[in-house]
Every structure is written in C-alpha cells, then in structure tokens.
C-alpha cells in the first residue's frame, strides 16, 4: 500500500510542472511586419494583407453625422490612422497574445469630441449590417461594455480581427469575423462572412 501511495505521489510531482508548462505555452504572441512582438499602449497601423483593395484603417463619417465609423482608406499606399491595443488585463509594454480580448483605440481626435474606442454597433435597420463604430469605453469589462472588445486571431499565415468577447461570462453574444463591405464607394468594417486579413506596422 505504501509503495502504491509513493508511486502516485511521484507521478503527481512530475505531472504538475508539466501542466504548468503546457498552460504557459498556449499563448501565442502577435507579431508585426518586422517580426517583433506587439506591445500594449503602443501605436500601430492596421494594414490589409491583400493590396489593391484599399489602405490602412481610419475614421470616417456615415451620413455626415457622428459618431465616426471604422473604414479603410481609399488609397492603398495610405497607412490610415495609428491605434493602440489595450488588453483586458492591461499593463504598459505588455506583449499582446492572440485571442485576447482588447480595446482598439485610434490615437486621434475628431470633431465629434467623442471616444475613438472601437465598438460593434447594433444591426442597422436599413442595410441589415453591423458596423464597427466608435464611442466605446476603455476597460470596465462587463455587460455594459461587451460590444467594445475585439481580438486578433491567426488565420493561416496571416491575422484577422474577430468579435467574440469573453469578458462577460453571462452575456450572450454573436461571434463573428470583422470584414469589409463596399457601400457608396467606401469600404466599411463590420460583421462579415469573409474576414479582412491584416498585418501590423509600428507607427
């Protein structure tokens, strides 16, 4: 009996470090164009992988009114506006992991004098689409901010942007990819069946 207990204890002692090693290895750091790790509270441009279909991401008005929406620049050589990624457990200089809930915040001011934090809007009654807009709030994860959290996920050899927040355990959300659709000559970001493949360039 003592021999059996000793054997089990030895097995457990050997297994525990292994378990912690596996957990530590599950997080994969997001890389920029230069192969460097993305850091929180640092300005980056979000650029499309496929060129010839617009440039970087920026702010634009729909129907000439506030708030601003997220759109692609018309020119493919334009980097768009710089923005910062603020993970749910934010620490300055922290490396950003794939599939982590984050606030995306443009480092820009607008004439609307409103927040430039990304937010997934409600279903538009005219177009039937859900647009990525602004006026979100930084931090405070929960029911009131569930629409403000986005993720960066690996898609084959590239990255894509995803809305699937896990910050509110009791909230029911519809998860989906962030893609682009053409409307009145402008490329708007929103829920799409085809993800926008992106890369990150340090500003």
Task: Flag whether 12 is in a domain.
Answer: no
pLDDT tens-digit profile of 52-85? 889 999 999 998 899 999 999 999 999 999 999 9
Whether residue 18 lies inside any domain: the answer is no
User: What total number of domains does the chain contain?
Assistant: 1
Nearest alpha carbon to residue 138 among 181, 91, 102: 102
- The pLDDT mean for the chain works out to 87
Q: Is residue 95 part of a domain?
A: yes
pTM (two decimals): 0.85
Rounded CA separation 111/89 (Å): 31
Per the domain annotation, does 182 fall within a domain? yes
Q: Are 176 and 163 in contact (CB under 8 A)?
A: yes
Domain, as residue range, for 179: 29-202
Model confidence at 190: pLDDT above 80: yes
Residue 33 lies in a domain: yes
Q: What is the mean pLDDT of residues 171-189?
A: 94
Query: Does 160 or 8 have the greater pLDDT score?
Result: 160
Residue 103 lies in a domain: yes
Let me know if residue 34 belongs to a domain: yes
Lowest mean pLDDT among 87-91, 100-104, 179-183, 196-200: 87-91
The Cα–Cα gap between 38 and 17 comes to 28
Mean pLDDT of 149-176: 95
CATH of the domain at 94: 2.80.10.50
Q: Alpha helix (H) ranges present in 49-178? A: none
The mean per-residue pLDDT over the stretch 146-172 comes to 95
Tell me the three state secondary structure of residue 158. Answer: strand
| CA distances for 192 relative to 76, 100, 131, 179, 188, angstroms | 21, 20, 10, 5, 11
In a domain, 163, yes or no: yes
Highest averaged pLDDT of the listed ranges 52-56, 92-96, 174-178: 174-178
- Mean pLDDT over residues 136-156, rounded? 95
| Percent share of the chain, pLDDT over 90 | 75
């Amino acid at each position: 009996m003592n021999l059996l207990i000793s054997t089990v204890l030895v097995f457990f002692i050997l297994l525990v470090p292994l378990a912690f090693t596996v957990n530590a290895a599950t997080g994969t750091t997001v890389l920029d164009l230069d192969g460097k790790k993305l850091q929180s509270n640092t300005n980056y441009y979000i650029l499309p992988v496929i060129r010839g279909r617009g440039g970087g991401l920026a702010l634009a008005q729909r129907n000439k009114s506030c708030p601003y929406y997220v759109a692609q620049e018309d020119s493919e050589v334009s980097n768009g506006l710089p923005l910062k990624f603020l993970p749910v457990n934010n620490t300055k200089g922290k490396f950003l992991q794939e599939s982590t809930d984050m606030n995306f915040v443009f480092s820009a001011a607008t004439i609307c004098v409103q927040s430039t934090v990304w937010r997934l809007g409600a279903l538009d009654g005219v177009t039937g689409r859900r647009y990525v807009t602004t006026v979100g709030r930084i931090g405070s994860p929960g029911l009131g901010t569930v629409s403000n959290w986005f993720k960066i996920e690996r898609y084959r050899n590239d990255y894509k942007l995803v809305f699937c927040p896990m910050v509110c355990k009791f909230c029911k959300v519809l998860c989906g990819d962030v893609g682009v659709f053409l409307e009145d000559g402008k490329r708007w970001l929103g829920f799409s069946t085809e993800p926008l493949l992106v890369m990150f360039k340090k500003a």
